Amino acid sequence: MTEAFLDVRNVSRRFAPRLSFGDRIAGKLGQPIDARVTHAVDGVSLAIAKGEALGLVGESGCGKSTLGRVIAGILPPSEGTTAVAGEPVMSQGPRRHKTTTRVQMIFQDPFASLDPRMQVGDTVAEGPIAHRLTTRAQARDYVGRWLTTVGLDPGFAARYPHQFSGGQRQRIAIARALAMQPDMLVCDEPVASLDVSIQAQIINLFLKLRRELNLTMLFISHDLGVVRHLCDRVAIMYLGRIVELGETQAVYAAPQHPYTRALLDSVPKLMLDDHETTAFKPIAGELPSPLAPPPGCHFHLRCPLVQPICRQERPPLRAVLPGRESACHFAPFPPGLRRLR
Protein backbone atom coordinates (compact mmCIF):
# COMPACT_ATOMS: atom_id res chain seq x y z
CA MET A 1 0.00 0.00 0.00
CA THR A 2 1.12 3.56 -0.71
CA GLU A 3 1.65 6.14 2.04
CA ALA A 4 -1.17 6.11 4.58
CA PHE A 5 -3.74 8.90 4.49
CA LEU A 6 -5.62 7.64 7.56
CA ASP A 7 -3.39 6.29 10.31
CA VAL A 8 -5.03 4.52 13.25
CA ARG A 9 -2.59 3.34 15.91
CA ASN A 10 -3.45 1.05 18.83
CA VAL A 11 -6.91 2.54 19.29
CA SER A 12 -9.07 1.20 22.11
CA ARG A 13 -12.44 2.42 23.28
CA ARG A 14 -13.97 1.39 26.58
CA PHE A 15 -17.28 2.44 28.07
CA ALA A 16 -17.61 2.71 31.83
CA PRO A 17 -21.07 1.92 33.24
CA ARG A 18 -23.38 4.77 34.13
CA LEU A 19 -24.50 4.08 37.65
CA SER A 20 -28.06 4.97 38.57
CA PHE A 21 -28.98 6.68 41.82
CA GLY A 22 -29.99 3.29 43.23
CA ASP A 23 -26.61 1.79 42.24
CA ARG A 24 -24.78 4.62 44.01
CA ILE A 25 -26.80 4.06 47.18
CA ALA A 26 -26.20 0.31 46.95
CA GLY A 27 -22.46 0.91 46.55
CA LYS A 28 -22.36 3.14 49.61
CA LEU A 29 -24.20 0.47 51.58
CA GLY A 30 -21.61 -2.10 50.51
CA GLN A 31 -23.98 -4.05 48.27
CA PRO A 32 -22.50 -5.56 45.05
CA ILE A 33 -23.19 -3.72 41.80
CA ASP A 34 -22.28 -4.55 38.21
CA ALA A 35 -19.58 -2.03 37.30
CA ARG A 36 -17.85 -3.94 34.50
CA VAL A 37 -16.34 -1.96 31.62
CA THR A 38 -17.45 -2.58 28.03
CA HIS A 39 -14.45 -3.27 25.76
CA ALA A 40 -15.88 -2.04 22.45
CA VAL A 41 -12.60 -1.59 20.54
CA ASP A 42 -9.41 -3.34 21.61
CA GLY A 43 -6.04 -2.19 20.24
CA VAL A 44 -6.94 -1.62 16.57
CA SER A 45 -4.37 -0.35 14.07
CA LEU A 46 -5.32 0.52 10.48
CA ALA A 47 -3.91 2.47 7.56
CA ILE A 48 -5.87 3.64 4.51
CA ALA A 49 -4.29 5.20 1.43
CA LYS A 50 -5.60 8.34 -0.25
CA GLY A 51 -8.52 7.49 -2.53
CA GLU A 52 -8.84 3.93 -1.19
CA ALA A 53 -12.03 2.29 0.02
CA LEU A 54 -11.61 -0.07 2.98
CA GLY A 55 -14.48 -2.31 4.06
CA LEU A 56 -14.98 -3.11 7.74
CA VAL A 57 -16.95 -6.33 8.24
CA GLY A 58 -18.12 -8.26 11.28
CA GLU A 59 -21.11 -9.42 13.29
CA SER A 60 -23.41 -7.01 15.09
CA GLY A 61 -21.86 -5.95 18.39
CA CYS A 62 -18.24 -6.45 17.35
CA GLY A 63 -17.35 -2.74 17.60
CA LYS A 64 -17.50 -1.62 13.94
CA SER A 65 -19.66 1.45 14.53
CA THR A 66 -17.69 2.47 17.62
CA LEU A 67 -14.43 2.32 15.65
CA GLY A 68 -16.02 4.35 12.87
CA ARG A 69 -17.13 7.04 15.33
CA VAL A 70 -13.64 7.20 16.83
CA ILE A 71 -12.10 7.61 13.36
CA ALA A 72 -14.65 10.31 12.50
CA GLY A 73 -13.86 12.17 15.73
CA ILE A 74 -17.32 11.71 17.25
CA LEU A 75 -15.94 9.63 20.13
CA PRO A 76 -12.50 10.10 21.70
CA PRO A 77 -10.39 6.94 21.98
CA SER A 78 -9.61 5.58 25.44
CA GLU A 79 -6.13 4.79 24.14
CA GLY A 80 -4.26 5.29 20.88
CA THR A 81 -4.30 7.97 18.19
CA THR A 82 -6.03 8.66 14.88
CA ALA A 83 -4.58 10.99 12.26
CA VAL A 84 -5.59 12.12 8.76
CA ALA A 85 -2.72 13.23 6.52
CA GLY A 86 -0.61 13.58 9.66
CA GLU A 87 -3.19 15.81 11.39
CA PRO A 88 -4.70 14.41 14.62
CA VAL A 89 -8.44 13.88 14.44
CA MET A 90 -8.76 14.49 18.19
CA SER A 91 -6.84 16.98 20.29
CA GLN A 92 -4.80 15.55 23.15
CA GLY A 93 -5.39 16.55 26.74
CA PRO A 94 -8.10 16.28 29.39
CA ARG A 95 -10.77 17.99 27.22
CA ARG A 96 -10.29 16.29 23.89
CA HIS A 97 -12.31 17.49 20.93
CA LYS A 98 -12.43 17.01 17.16
CA THR A 99 -9.82 19.15 15.41
CA THR A 100 -10.54 18.55 11.72
CA THR A 101 -13.48 18.59 9.31
CA ARG A 102 -11.65 16.43 6.76
CA VAL A 103 -13.46 13.30 7.99
CA GLN A 104 -17.27 13.16 7.85
CA MET A 105 -19.65 10.35 8.78
CA ILE A 106 -22.79 8.96 7.17
CA PHE A 107 -25.05 7.01 9.52
CA GLN A 108 -27.16 3.91 9.03
CA ASP A 109 -30.58 5.43 9.69
CA PRO A 110 -31.02 8.63 7.66
CA PHE A 111 -34.31 9.52 9.36
CA ALA A 112 -32.77 9.39 12.84
CA SER A 113 -29.70 11.38 11.74
CA LEU A 114 -31.70 14.25 10.21
CA ASP A 115 -33.41 16.84 12.43
CA PRO A 116 -37.16 16.51 11.68
CA ARG A 117 -37.71 20.17 12.63
CA MET A 118 -35.19 21.57 10.15
CA GLN A 119 -35.65 22.06 6.43
CA VAL A 120 -33.24 20.05 4.31
CA GLY A 121 -31.47 23.17 3.08
CA ASP A 122 -30.78 24.35 6.63
CA THR A 123 -29.53 20.89 7.60
CA VAL A 124 -27.03 20.76 4.74
CA ALA A 125 -25.93 24.39 5.17
CA GLU A 126 -25.51 24.43 8.95
CA GLY A 127 -22.00 22.92 9.06
CA PRO A 128 -20.54 24.79 6.06
CA ILE A 129 -21.78 28.12 7.43
CA ALA A 130 -20.34 27.39 10.88
CA HIS A 131 -16.94 26.51 9.36
CA ARG A 132 -17.03 29.39 6.85
CA LEU A 133 -17.13 27.24 3.75
CA THR A 134 -19.98 29.43 2.55
CA THR A 135 -21.98 32.43 3.76
CA ARG A 136 -25.66 32.67 4.61
CA ALA A 137 -26.18 34.81 1.53
CA GLN A 138 -24.66 32.12 -0.72
CA ALA A 139 -25.98 29.11 1.20
CA ARG A 140 -28.95 28.50 -1.11
CA ASP A 141 -26.78 28.08 -4.20
CA TYR A 142 -24.17 26.13 -2.21
CA VAL A 143 -26.76 23.65 -0.93
CA GLY A 144 -28.32 23.36 -4.39
CA ARG A 145 -25.00 22.28 -5.91
CA TRP A 146 -24.56 19.46 -3.39
CA LEU A 147 -28.15 18.28 -3.70
CA THR A 148 -27.63 18.12 -7.46
CA THR A 149 -24.39 16.18 -6.91
CA VAL A 150 -26.27 13.42 -5.06
CA GLY A 151 -29.08 13.31 -7.60
CA LEU A 152 -31.74 15.46 -5.91
CA ASP A 153 -33.65 18.51 -7.11
CA PRO A 154 -32.29 21.72 -5.52
CA GLY A 155 -35.90 22.72 -4.93
CA PHE A 156 -36.12 20.01 -2.27
CA ALA A 157 -34.14 22.28 0.07
CA ALA A 158 -37.37 23.80 1.44
CA ARG A 159 -38.85 20.43 2.44
CA TYR A 160 -38.60 18.49 5.69
CA PRO A 161 -37.13 14.95 6.14
CA HIS A 162 -40.54 13.28 6.61
CA GLN A 163 -41.49 14.31 3.07
CA PHE A 164 -38.83 12.05 1.52
CA SER A 165 -38.39 8.32 0.97
CA GLY A 166 -35.63 6.38 2.73
CA GLY A 167 -33.34 6.52 -0.31
CA GLN A 168 -33.85 10.25 -0.71
CA ARG A 169 -33.13 10.84 2.98
CA GLN A 170 -29.88 8.92 2.65
CA ARG A 171 -28.91 11.09 -0.32
CA ILE A 172 -29.58 14.15 1.84
CA ALA A 173 -27.34 12.73 4.56
CA ILE A 174 -24.62 12.18 1.94
CA ALA A 175 -25.05 15.76 0.67
CA ARG A 176 -24.72 17.05 4.24
CA ALA A 177 -21.42 15.19 4.65
CA LEU A 178 -20.08 16.26 1.24
CA ALA A 179 -20.99 19.90 1.88
CA MET A 180 -18.21 19.96 4.47
CA GLN A 181 -15.77 19.24 1.60
CA PRO A 182 -14.18 16.25 3.35
CA ASP A 183 -11.28 14.15 2.15
CA MET A 184 -12.69 11.02 3.79
CA LEU A 185 -16.12 9.52 4.46
CA VAL A 186 -16.90 7.03 7.22
CA CYS A 187 -20.02 5.18 6.06
CA ASP A 188 -21.74 3.23 8.83
CA GLU A 189 -23.94 0.65 7.04
CA PRO A 190 -25.48 3.39 4.87
CA VAL A 191 -27.61 0.99 2.80
CA ALA A 192 -28.68 -1.50 5.48
CA SER A 193 -32.08 0.11 6.10
CA LEU A 194 -32.96 0.54 2.40
CA ASP A 195 -34.79 -1.62 -0.12
CA VAL A 196 -32.58 -3.72 -2.41
CA SER A 197 -33.27 -1.58 -5.50
CA ILE A 198 -32.51 1.61 -3.56
CA GLN A 199 -29.35 0.01 -2.16
CA ALA A 200 -28.04 -0.40 -5.70
CA GLN A 201 -28.66 3.28 -6.44
CA ILE A 202 -26.83 4.43 -3.31
CA ILE A 203 -23.90 2.07 -3.94
CA ASN A 204 -23.57 3.38 -7.50
CA LEU A 205 -23.68 6.91 -6.08
CA PHE A 206 -20.79 6.11 -3.74
CA LEU A 207 -18.78 4.70 -6.65
CA LYS A 208 -19.47 7.85 -8.70
CA LEU A 209 -18.59 10.23 -5.86
CA ARG A 210 -15.42 8.35 -5.00
CA ARG A 211 -14.26 8.51 -8.60
CA GLU A 212 -15.15 12.17 -9.19
CA LEU A 213 -14.07 13.59 -5.81
CA ASN A 214 -11.17 11.20 -5.07
CA LEU A 215 -12.68 10.37 -1.70
CA THR A 216 -11.11 8.03 0.81
CA MET A 217 -13.72 5.76 2.39
CA LEU A 218 -14.17 3.49 5.38
CA PHE A 219 -17.27 1.45 4.53
CA ILE A 220 -18.76 -0.36 7.53
CA SER A 221 -21.13 -3.20 6.62
CA HIS A 222 -22.31 -6.67 7.47
CA ASP A 223 -23.13 -7.34 3.80
CA LEU A 224 -20.18 -9.18 2.29
CA GLY A 225 -21.52 -8.72 -1.24
CA VAL A 226 -21.67 -4.92 -0.95
CA VAL A 227 -18.13 -4.78 0.41
CA ARG A 228 -16.86 -7.01 -2.38
CA HIS A 229 -18.38 -4.70 -4.98
CA LEU A 230 -17.32 -1.39 -3.43
CA CYS A 231 -14.05 -1.83 -1.52
CA ASP A 232 -10.41 -2.29 -2.51
CA ARG A 233 -9.45 -3.94 0.78
CA VAL A 234 -11.40 -5.46 3.64
CA ALA A 235 -10.76 -5.66 7.38
CA ILE A 236 -12.55 -8.40 9.34
CA MET A 237 -13.43 -7.42 12.93
CA TYR A 238 -14.34 -9.71 15.81
CA LEU A 239 -15.14 -8.56 19.34
CA GLY A 240 -13.21 -5.31 19.09
CA ARG A 241 -10.17 -6.64 17.23
CA ILE A 242 -9.10 -6.79 13.59
CA VAL A 243 -8.51 -10.47 12.82
CA GLU A 244 -7.78 -10.29 9.07
CA LEU A 245 -6.85 -7.57 6.60
CA GLY A 246 -6.12 -7.70 2.90
CA GLU A 247 -7.19 -7.11 -0.68
CA THR A 248 -10.90 -7.86 -0.95
CA GLN A 249 -10.86 -10.43 -3.73
CA ALA A 250 -7.90 -12.27 -2.19
CA VAL A 251 -9.53 -12.43 1.27
CA TYR A 252 -12.77 -13.78 -0.19
CA ALA A 253 -10.95 -16.33 -2.35
CA ALA A 254 -8.63 -17.70 0.36
CA PRO A 255 -9.37 -16.38 3.89
CA GLN A 256 -6.54 -16.66 6.38
CA HIS A 257 -8.52 -16.60 9.63
CA PRO A 258 -11.11 -19.14 10.84
CA TYR A 259 -13.60 -16.36 11.57
CA THR A 260 -13.37 -15.00 8.03
CA ARG A 261 -13.92 -18.53 6.70
CA ALA A 262 -16.91 -18.96 8.98
CA LEU A 263 -18.41 -15.64 7.82
CA LEU A 264 -18.10 -16.63 4.17
CA ASP A 265 -19.52 -20.09 4.84
CA SER A 266 -22.53 -18.54 6.57
CA VAL A 267 -23.64 -16.71 3.39
CA PRO A 268 -26.45 -18.70 1.68
CA LYS A 269 -25.40 -20.18 -1.66
CA LEU A 270 -27.47 -21.68 -4.47
CA MET A 271 -26.65 -25.35 -5.15
CA LEU A 272 -28.02 -26.15 -8.62
CA ASP A 273 -26.82 -29.75 -8.45
CA ASP A 274 -28.75 -30.42 -5.24
CA HIS A 275 -32.38 -29.78 -6.15
CA GLU A 276 -31.69 -26.03 -6.30
CA THR A 277 -31.60 -25.61 -2.53
CA THR A 278 -29.61 -23.03 -0.63
CA ALA A 279 -26.73 -24.15 1.54
CA PHE A 280 -25.08 -22.26 4.37
CA LYS A 281 -23.40 -23.04 7.64
CA PRO A 282 -24.14 -20.66 10.55
CA ILE A 283 -21.27 -19.74 12.83
CA ALA A 284 -21.37 -21.94 15.92
CA GLY A 285 -22.05 -20.37 19.30
CA GLU A 286 -22.73 -16.78 20.27
CA LEU A 287 -20.59 -13.65 20.23
CA PRO A 288 -19.07 -13.32 23.73
CA SER A 289 -19.98 -10.32 25.82
CA PRO A 290 -17.65 -7.29 25.50
CA LEU A 291 -18.14 -6.90 29.27
CA ALA A 292 -16.04 -10.04 29.78
CA PRO A 293 -14.07 -10.88 26.62
CA PRO A 294 -12.37 -14.29 26.70
CA PRO A 295 -8.58 -14.49 27.15
CA GLY A 296 -6.20 -15.34 24.35
CA CYS A 297 -7.81 -15.32 20.93
CA HIS A 298 -11.33 -13.93 21.27
CA PHE A 299 -12.62 -16.40 18.68
CA HIS A 300 -11.36 -19.54 20.42
CA LEU A 301 -14.75 -20.32 22.02
CA ARG A 302 -16.28 -20.77 18.54
CA CYS A 303 -13.29 -21.88 16.47
CA PRO A 304 -13.19 -25.44 15.07
CA LEU A 305 -9.37 -25.30 14.91
CA VAL A 306 -8.82 -24.24 18.54
CA GLN A 307 -5.67 -25.41 20.33
CA PRO A 308 -4.40 -24.77 23.90
CA ILE A 309 -2.28 -21.81 22.76
CA CYS A 310 -5.42 -20.08 21.48
CA ARG A 311 -6.90 -19.98 24.99
CA GLN A 312 -3.74 -18.53 26.53
CA GLU A 313 -2.00 -16.16 24.10
CA ARG A 314 -3.44 -13.32 22.04
CA PRO A 315 -2.33 -13.78 18.43
CA PRO A 316 -0.92 -10.56 16.94
CA LEU A 317 -2.14 -9.22 13.60
CA ARG A 318 0.84 -10.12 11.40
CA ALA A 319 1.77 -10.50 7.75
CA VAL A 320 1.13 -14.08 6.61
CA LEU A 321 1.14 -13.57 2.83
CA PRO A 322 2.09 -10.63 0.59
CA GLY A 323 -0.44 -7.89 1.32
CA ARG A 324 -2.31 -10.09 3.82
CA GLU A 325 -2.45 -9.92 7.61
CA SER A 326 -4.07 -12.38 9.99
CA ALA A 327 -4.44 -12.69 13.76
CA CYS A 328 -4.31 -16.48 13.90
CA HIS A 329 -1.52 -18.57 15.42
CA PHE A 330 -1.72 -21.09 12.56
CA ALA A 331 -1.97 -18.85 9.48
CA PRO A 332 -1.19 -19.11 6.62
CA PHE A 333 -3.43 -22.05 5.79
CA PRO A 334 -2.93 -24.55 2.95
CA PRO A 335 -4.53 -23.42 -0.34
CA GLY A 336 -6.82 -26.45 -0.42
CA LEU A 337 -8.41 -25.71 2.98
CA ARG A 338 -11.51 -23.80 1.90
CA ARG A 339 -14.33 -24.68 4.30
CA LEU A 340 -14.52 -25.39 8.00
CA ARG A 341 -16.23 -28.65 8.97
**pLDDT confidence band for 273 (50 / 70 / 90):** low
Domains and CATH numbers, the chain: 4-16+34-102+182-326 (3.40.50.300), 117-181 (no CATH)
E strand or H helix at 242: strand 241-247
Answer yes or no: is pLDDT of 9 > 60.
Answer: yes
Answer yes or no: is pLDDT of 262 > 80.
Answer: yes
The pLDDT value given to residue 339: 46
Answer yes or no: is pLDDT of 133 > 70.
Answer: yes
pTM of this prediction? 0.89
Answer yes or no: is pLDDT of 278 > 80.
Answer: no
The pLDDT value given to residue 30: 54
- The stretches of the chain forming alpha helices (DSSP H) are 21-28, 64-72, 110-113, 120-130, 139-149, 166-178, 196-213, 224-230, 248-253, 258-265, 308-312
| Digit-coded pLDDT (tens) for 32-87 | 445 578 889 999 999 999 999 999 999 988 999 999 999 999 999 999 999 999 88
CA distance 278 to 268: 6
